[in-house]
Amino acid sequence: MSDLERKREIIDSLGAYISAPSGKSMRPMLRGERDTVRIEKYEGRLRRYDVALYECGGKHVLHRVVRVRKDSYVFRGDNCDYTEHGITDEMIIGLLVGFWRDERYISSDARLYRLYARVHTALYPLRFLRMRALRFLRRSLSRIPFLRALWRRLLRR
CA–CA separation, 42 and 46 (whole Å): 8
Category of 42 on φ-ψ map: left (φ > 0), alpha (ψ -120 to 50) or beta: beta
Secondary structure class of 21 (helix, strand, coil):
coil
Q: pTM for the full model? A: 0.84
Tens-place pLDDT, residues 46-79? 999 999 999 988 889 999 999 999 999 999 999 9
pLDDT higher than threshold 70 for residue 157:
no
Which pLDDT tens digit goes with each residue over 76-110?
999 998 999 999 999 999 999 999 998 899 999 99
In the chain the domains, ranked by start, together with CATH numbers, are 3-122 (2.10.109.10), 123-157 (no CATH)
* pLDDT score recorded for residue 124: 92
